[in-house]
Amino acid sequence: MTGFITIFQREIARFLKVIVQTVITPFISSFLYLLIFGVSLGEQMQVHQGVSYLSFLIPGLMMMGLINNAFQNASSSVVSSKFSGDLEDLRVAPVTDQEIIWAMSLASLVRGTIVALITYSVGALFMYYRQGEWLMVAHPLTTLFFVVMAGLIFGMIGISIAFWATTFDQLSAFSAFILLPLTYLGGVFLSIEHLHPFWQAVSKANPLLYLINGLRYGILGVSDVNVWTAAVISTIGFVVFFAVAKFSLKKGSFQRW
């Protein structure tokens, strides 16, 4: 237990040292996204009944920031530890793989949540300024559920990939060629209702669609997919990636680069 608490504290302390990067980057990027897409582009768009494009966009951006930051936090922590060699310390010390996974993915969740909250705040200010109304959270517990799931799942994915990775390039390849397209095609910017039925079916095979729409349902009360389906798929994702992370720690490499 002490091992878990220590690793968690260490992970938090680590990203607090780069707090500017943690806070400013999402602040600027969500500001830009909202400005370009939400305001200029979405002026006339109505996606769902009674929901402006601006408010539709906010949960999507929150989830995108959350997922990216959870993934980055875990993977860069493991990889930089591989680089300096102190990942071996964790293997040599009496801490269990479970403690490592939980501590690292929870810290990733914390960082992702900070980013999501910043995005939410920026979005809420935009909405107030444009539409004169505050963005309220429709279903707080549902919101919390999908935030926690997404943070943990992508923390674990980050851990898994970093343990197998042998170069930095492999990490950026995952971000650029898998994570980014899946987020963009997962309904961050567009409701899949507007797509051709074929592409709708394809989109439904994208697991990120369920996290994004789950959170959208939590905040706005509207979603492209059934919220229970989204919850079940997220839970399955959580179980699967926990197992993958455990396997990765067992078989992957703690060795320094």
User: Where does this chain bind another protein (CB under 8 A)?
Assistant: 2-3, 5-7, 9-10, 13-14, 17, 80-81, 84-86, 88-96, 254-256
| Element of type H or E holding 48 | strand 46-48
To another protein, the closest distance from the beta carbon of 166 in angstroms equals 13
Query: How many other CB atoms are there within 10 angstroms of residue 233's CB atom?
Result: 18
Closest CB 177 distance from another protein, rounded Å: 28
Residue 7 or 152 with smaller CB distance to another protein: 7
Strand partners, 46: 52
Look at strands 51-52 and 46-48 and give their pairing: antiparallel
- Of 18 and 202, nearer to another protein (C-beta) is 18
Q: Count other C-beta atoms under 10 Å from residue 201's C-beta.
A: 11
The CB-of-104 to another protein minimum distance in angstroms stands at 14
Amino acid at 91: R
The DSSP secondary-structure symbol of 39 reads I
- For another protein, the closer of residues 61 and 165 by Cβ is 165
Least distance to another protein from the beta carbon of 156, Å? 21
Of 3 and 221, the one with the shorter C-beta distance to another protein is 3
Give least dist CB 76 to another protein, A.
11
Residue 94 vs 197, nearer CB to another protein: 94
Nearest to 239 by CA among 146, 141, 153: 153
Q: Is the dihedral of CA 226, 154, 102, 219 positive or negative?
A: negative
What is the residue-wise DSSP string for 74-112?
Answer: HHHHHHHHHHHSTHHHHHHTT--HHHHHHHHHHHHHHHH
User: Who's near 137: CB < 8 A, 6+ residues apart?
Assistant: 143, 218, 219
Q: Phi first, then psi: what are they for 248, rounded to 5°?
A: -65, -40
Query: Residue 53 Cβ, how far from another protein at the closest point, in Å?
Result: 41
Residues 6 or more apart in contact with residue 146 via CB below 8 angstroms: 63, 211, 214, 215, 218, 230, 231, 234
Q: At its nearest, how many Å lie between another protein and the CB of residue 168?
A: 15
Taking the least distance from each CB to another protein, the nearer of 6 and 229 is 6
* Residue number, 7 or 147, with CB nearest to another protein: 7
